[in-house]
Chain A
Amino acid sequence: EAGVVQSPRYKIIEKKQPVAFWCNPISGHNTLYWYRQNLGQGPELLIRYENEEAVDDSQLPKDRFSAERLKGVDSTLKIQPAELGDSAVYLCASSFYSSGELFFGEGSRLTVL
């Protein structure tokens, strides 16, 4: 069974440029999460989807970040414009309703110059 797939694995951009990350969750998992992990820190939740509905986006900086999960499967996280402080690893995870476990992708490492 395929795991959570993220792309790109690495992205280097200049500040003020836009960037987008894509996530394909495990088949059948209705809940999808985007986490941001700064260097030397634990992951912090940005947004959580149940099917196509964003049920928790309180930590998403909405002035520059946006996310969507069309048809309740794949998801895209966008940053526009990027700032130096956005350099981090963006982790996608998925889970099934009653599961006690989140399955993570390998992450997308963003460097903003």
Chain B
Amino acid sequence: AQKITQTQPGMFVQEKEAVTLDCTYDTSDQSYGLFWYKQPSSGEMIFLIYQGSYDEQNATEGRYSLNFQKARKSANLVISASQLGDSAMYFCAMRDSYSGAGSYQLTFGKGTKLSVIP
């Protein structure tokens, strides 16, 4: 069984500062993928960044980077130069191994609410 743990229910960050959102995971699979999604108050889940278990480099997408530490089973999201529009819920999720015809499902953590302070 897979498990995603996000230990920070809420975080505050000053505008223009960097912030790290924690995520640890538990899986017995060798091949897996880790995702971060942003959910603003509108409700839509917005994909931010992806890290494959065999990727040697940490993933980066603009102001987002993923600090992947495989031995510690952690996949923390780093947001640099925070903006007011970054205020939202952030979810860490893990993709299981491919099964059947090749599709998969995501298992989500409970999320972290980020508030950016002007």
Write the residues of chain A forming the contact surface with B, with a CB cutoff of 8 angstroms.
30-31, 33, 40-45, 48, 50, 55-56, 89, 91, 93, 95, 97-98, 100-107, 109
Q: Of residues 36 to 64 in B, which have CB atoms within 8 Å of A's CB atoms? A: 37, 42-47, 50, 52
Query: Within the complex, which residue of B33, B50, B105, B110 is in contact with A56, where a contact is CB–CB below 8 Å?
Result: B105
Q: Please, how many angstroms separate the alpha-carbon atoms of A98 and B33 in the complex? A: 13
Q: Is the CB of B43 within 8 A of A106?
A: yes
Chain B interface mostly helix, strand, loop or mixed?
A: strand
Q: Please, how many angstroms separate the alpha-carbon atoms of A104 and B89 in the complex? A: 15
Q: Is the CB of A42 within 8 A of B109?
A: yes
Query: Within the complex, which residue of A41, A100, A103, A107 is in contact with B43, where a contact is CB–CB below 8 Å?
Result: A107
Q: Please, how many angstroms separate the alpha-carbon atoms of A91 and B44 in the complex? A: 8
Q: Which of A43, A103, A109 has the most CB of B within 10 A?
A: A43
| B81-118 interface code vs A (CB 8 A; 1 in, 0 out) | 00000000001010100001111011111110000000
Q: Please, how many angstroms separate the alpha-carbon atoms of A93 and B103 in the complex? A: 13
Query: Within the complex, which residue of B44, B102, B108, B109 is in contact with A105, where a contact is CB–CB below 8 Å?
Result: B44
- Note all chain A residues with C-beta closer than 8 A to B107: 45
Return A95 CB to nearest CB of chain B, in Å.
Answer: 7
From known contacts A97-B103, A101-B50, infer whether A89 and B43 are also in contact, taking CB-CB under 8 Å. yes
Q: Which of A89, A95, A102, A104 has the most CB of B within 10 A?
A: A102
Q: Is the CB of A98 within 8 A of B108?
A: no
Q: Please, how many angstroms separate the alpha-carbon atoms of A43 and B108 in the complex? A: 6
List 20 other contacts, CB 8 Å, given A48-B105, A102-B47.
A41-B111, A42-B110, A42-B111, A44-B108, A45-B105, A45-B107, A50-B100, A91-B43, A95-B103, A97-B102, A97-B103, A100-B35, A101-B47, A102-B45, A104-B37, A104-B44, A104-B46, A106-B43, A107-B43, A109-B43
Return B10 CB to nearest CB of chain A, in Å.
Answer: 11
8 contacts between A and B (CB under 8 A): A30-B103, A31-B103, A42-B109, A48-B105, A91-B45, A97-B102, A102-B106, A109-B43
